[in-house]
Amino acid sequence: MLFRELLEAVEADAAGGDLNAVVEGIAYDSRQVRPRFLFVAIKGFRADGHEYIGEALERGALAVVMERRVELPPGVAWALVPDARRALALLSARFYGNPSFKMKLIGVTGTNGKTTTTSLIADILAGAGCRVGLIGTVNNRIGDRVLPVKHTTPESADLQQLLHEMVIEKVDACVMEVSSHALALHRVDGSEFDLAVFTNLTQDHLDFHRDMEDYLESKLKLFKWLGRPGHKREAGIAVINADDPHAGQFIRAAGGTVYTYGIKNAADVRAESISIGARGACFGVAGKWGRLRLDLRITGLFNVYNALAAFTASAAMGVPAEEIKEALEKARGAPGRFEMVDSGQDFAVVVDYAHTPDGLENILKTARKITEGRLITVFGCGGDRDRTKRPLMGGIAARYSDFAIITSDNPRTEDPLKIIKEIEEGMKTAGWERYVTEPDRRKAIRLAVEMARRGDVVVIAGKGHEDYQIIGTRKIPFNDRREAAAALKELKKAEN
């Protein structure tokens, strides 16, 4: 595409050089630049892309988009823009032929429940005969093909390339987790959503957002976009959790048609007569699309909400209620979400991604209901992230657990012992002492398994599907599910 044609997608303050240069690719990392590429210089959190423009030109870039003027060789095409991140998104969408215009695009946002809800919607749409793409925390998928994940929501250039691949492979609908980071950093700008789902809003990411109000405003962007004039003929649809305290703000912000779901408050779709067991949840669904009974293979009140969100979104897109029921009753949920590790032992071991106060409370509440003996919780908190949630999570573990083992999560560049001490503060405030600290996560998991007895439940929280630990700046292979299975195998061997 000609550089000047690409620039029609953005409002450039100035432009020059060879505007008829033919651009054959877009990169925001100078190491990814190839001959005849456009390089977009982003000012990041650790590095400033403007400092790497020279390297990009050496690698063959023929055009540069930047926020501040940098001296360039004669003839190099350039443009000056007010926001390079937003420009990257709009330029990439234009370069890849605006792929979101050519499929149904469903975005799911919220603090907790995004991964499971996107997975359930994808299962329903696939069951209804659609070819489905999925973009999220655990993996990206095009049909049955699984692709690696770097961010919950990819950087905008990568996202548009992925959506373009989906168009080539004739995807009918893409279901995407949309993180607050993605919304704040313009990663999904240039994408046109047909439907947006709001799950809930609780404390998280305050290392990135100024405060909860800033966090909320980022989430609201997705719903405000539904009312903007676009290339799709049909108005956007908003699906909102009526039981969340922020529901009213999302309803008021949303453009297009709004549908609500919930358990406690009046809603278009409600769950009733809920029964939650160790292996699943049963409940009635009543509302706009009639009445039916769901018998899920996934458990927990939080998964009742996730299933309601998926039901409402799918029904709003025209999938018949009976087809939704069939798909939901087959679904096994997302990996690392209240996932049982079963080696035939007489106690339960559950691995879950819960890494926020609300997430941990939801998991422990569910575990408490299925615990006949003791509830043993293994958890930690990530380093270089919101420190204020650490004592909160310590207090929550104290409230619901019979015993806890505080361990290391992804300490990153922080001292794991200091993180553990901040978690301990929440337990001390609660006057609770039934815990030990074990910074070695492998040892902590084995200790929990060794102390468990018949009827106990061991919850290993914080990492879920992740297959690594981040220690310093290195990713070390580590998988809670494998570690728990190995500990159970050793226990069985010792007993024999």
Q: Determine the pLDDT at residue 494.
A: 86
Question: Which of 2-6, 25-29, 384-388 has the weakest average pLDDT?
Answer: 384-388
Domain ranges, residue 64: 3-95
Question: Who wins on pLDDT, 416 or 212?
Answer: 416
pLDDT in tens, 156-184: 999 999 999 999 999 999 999 998 889 98
Q: Alpha-carbon distance 156 to 182, whole Å?
A: 8
Question: Who wins on pLDDT, 438 or 207?
Answer: 438
Over residues 134-153, the mean pLDDT reads 86
Q: Determine the pLDDT at residue 360.
A: 95
How open is the CA angle 283-288-291, to the nearest 5 degrees?
A: 35
| Summary mean pLDDT of the chain | 93
Residues in a beta bridge with 379: 406
| Together in a domain, 242 and 361 | no
Of the candidates 135, 148, 175, 141, the residue with the CA atom closest to the CA atom of residue 468? 148
Could you please report the per-residue DSSP string of 53-72? HHHHHHTT--EEEESS----
List C-alpha distances in Å: 224 to 218, 220, 250, 475. Answer: 10, 6, 9, 37
For 105, which DSSP code? Answer: E
Residues in a beta bridge with 260: 240
How open is the CA angle 155-158-163, to the nearest 5 degrees?
A: 120
Question: Who wins on pLDDT, 281 or 277?
Answer: 281
Q: Which residues are annotated as a binding site for meso-2,6-diaminopimelate?
A: 385, 409-412, 462, 466
Q: Alpha-carbon distance 312 to 361, whole Å?
A: 25
| Together in a domain, 410 and 436 | yes
List C-alpha distances in Å: 330 to 114, 300, 304, 326. Answer: 19, 16, 15, 6
Q: Which residues of 479-488 are buried (b: 16+ CB within 10 A; e: fewer)?
A: bbbebbbbbb
Over residues 306-331, the mean pLDDT reads 97
pLDDT in tens, 74-123: 989 999 999 999 999 999 999 999 999 999 999 999 988 999 999 999 99
**Beta strands per DSSP E along 217-316:** 237-241, 257-262, 269-276, 281-287, 290-296
pLDDT in tens, 437-490: 999 999 999 999 999 999 999 999 999 989 999 999 999 999 999 999 999 999
Residue that is last in its domain, among 283, 301, 330: 330
Chain centroid to Cα 290, Å, comes to 31
Chain centroid to Cα 54, Å, comes to 35
How open is the CA angle 47-151-365, to the nearest 5 degrees?
A: 125
Residue 468 three-state SS = strand
Q: Determine the pLDDT at residue 207.
A: 61
**What is the number of structural domains in the chain?**
3
Helix axes 357-369, 389-400, angle to 10 degrees: 10
Over residues 295-300, the mean pLDDT reads 93
Checking if the pLDDT of 208 tops 70, the result is no
Q: Determine the pLDDT at residue 204.
A: 61
Q: Which residues are annotated as a binding site?
A: 30, 110-116, 152-153, 179, 187, 385, 409-412, 462, 466
Q: Determine the pLDDT at residue 335.
A: 84
Residue that is last in its domain, among 279, 309, 330: 330
- Other C-beta atoms within 10 Å of 214: how many? 14
Q: Which residues are annotated as a binding site for ATP?
A: 110-116
* CATH at residue 29: 3.40.1390.10
Residue that is last in its domain, among 95, 118, 138: 95
pLDDT in tens, 257-270: 999 999 999 999 99
| Together in a domain, 243 and 303 | yes
| Together in a domain, 385 and 400 | yes
* CATH at residue 117: 3.40.1190.10
Q: Determine the pLDDT at residue 235.
A: 77
Structure tokens at 363: 């998991």
Beta carbons within 8 Å of 426's beta carbon, 6+ residues apart: 390, 391, 392, 393, 394, 395, 396, 397, 398
| Together in a domain, 397 and 318 | no
Q: Determine the pLDDT at residue 378.
A: 98
pLDDT in tens, 301-310: 999 999 999 9
| Amino acid symbol at 188 | V
Of the candidates 33, 41, 47, the residue with the CA atom closest to the CA atom of residue 68? 41
| Together in a domain, 157 and 289 | yes
Over residues 416-434, the mean pLDDT reads 95
Of the candidates 145, 12, 159, the residue with the CA atom closest to the CA atom of residue 84? 12
| Together in a domain, 208 and 152 | yes
Residues in a beta bridge with 387: none
Checking if the pLDDT of 293 tops 80, the result is yes
Q: CB of 93 within 8 A of CB of 157?
A: no
Checking if the pLDDT of 148 tops 60, the result is yes
| Together in a domain, 142 and 79 | no
* CATH at residue 462: 3.90.190.20
| Together in a domain, 239 and 353 | no
Question: Which of 64-68, 122-126, 253-257 has the weakest average pLDDT?
Answer: 253-257
| Together in a domain, 393 and 310 | no
Over residues 175-195, the mean pLDDT reads 93
Checking if the pLDDT of 209 tops 60, the result is no
| Together in a domain, 31 and 157 | no
List C-alpha distances in Å: 165 to 45, 162, 287. Answer: 29, 5, 38
Residue with tokens 């940098």: 70
Residue 261 three-state SS = strand
Residue 206 buriedness (CB in 10 A; 0-12 / 13-18 / 19+): middle
Q: What share of the chain has pLDDT > 90, as a percent?
A: 82
Beta carbons within 8 Å of 64's beta carbon, 6+ residues apart: 38, 39, 40, 41, 53, 56, 57, 70, 72, 76, 77, 78, 79
363-366-367-372 Cα dihedral, nearest 10 degrees: 170
H-helix or E-strand spanning residue 250: helix 247-253
Of the candidates 300, 252, 263, the residue with the CA atom closest to the CA atom of residue 279? 300
Q: Determine the pLDDT at residue 205.
A: 55
- Other C-beta atoms within 10 Å of 263: how many? 17
pLDDT in tens, 34-67: 999 999 999 987 789 999 999 999 999 999 999 9
Q: Alpha-carbon distance 39 to 56, whole Å?
A: 7
| Together in a domain, 283 and 134 | yes
Of the candidates 317, 199, 147, 241, the residue with the CA atom closest to the CA atom of residue 134? 147
Q: Alpha-carbon distance 72 to 95, whole Å?
A: 23
